Amino acid sequence: MAADAQMNGRGRRAFLALAGGSAVLPLLPPEARAQMPTAPPPLGSGYALLVPQATGGAPVRTGRVTVDVPTLADSGHAVPVRIIVQSAMRPDDHVRSITLLSDRNPRPVILKAWLGPRAGRAELATRVRLNGTQRIVALAELSDGSWWSGQADIVVTESACLDAS
């Protein structure tokens, strides 16, 4: 019962933030509206450099990796992320590592985790800092040497990574 009330409170806050922002948008001058992101950026040139570095140049296939994030985050300071990789997690077929990348953060490798067959499930849940609206990419290396990827778009209203250190 308490969990339902907590979820309703989050949904209400998100709705009110979205409604309040929508009400103020027409009052902004055109140059301010032009600077506001309307959609997450495409998988850009930043990932064209990051992915080969993370995989050692190995080919990456799309699929088997699910990145679960909210579509809207009021603050980029602690965004919940869940990464799930479809794998049997047996000694002959398991996930070796999971890497989470962001081409907008000062440090693009947000997460690097190593797994083995005794992990049971290839699933991670954590909170990350994000520097604004973006697309995040998760890479999974399997025991056969193959790399798989998944991605998710997220709109962040308040950036968290403002310093470059």
Per DSSP, 41 falls in state: P
pLDDT at 64: 92
Q: How many other C-beta atoms are found inside a 10 Å radius of the C-beta of residue 27?
A: 8
pTM value surpassing 0.85: no
Q: Where are the domains of the chain?
A: 1-36, 40-156
Per DSSP, 160 falls in state: S
Asked if residues 160 and 76 have their Cβ atoms less than 8 Å apart, the reply is yes
Please list the pLDDT of the chain residue by residue as tens digits (165 residues).
444 444 445 566 665 555 555 555 555 556 544 444 444 444 455 677 788 888 888 999 999 999 999 999 888 889 999 999 999 899 999 999 999 998 888 888 999 999 999 988 999 999 999 988 899 999 999 999 999 999 999 998 888 776 554
CATH topology of domain 40-156: Immunoglobulin-like (2.60.40)
Phi and psi at 106, nearest 5°, equal -60, -35
Nearest to 101 by CA among 134, 61, 144: 134
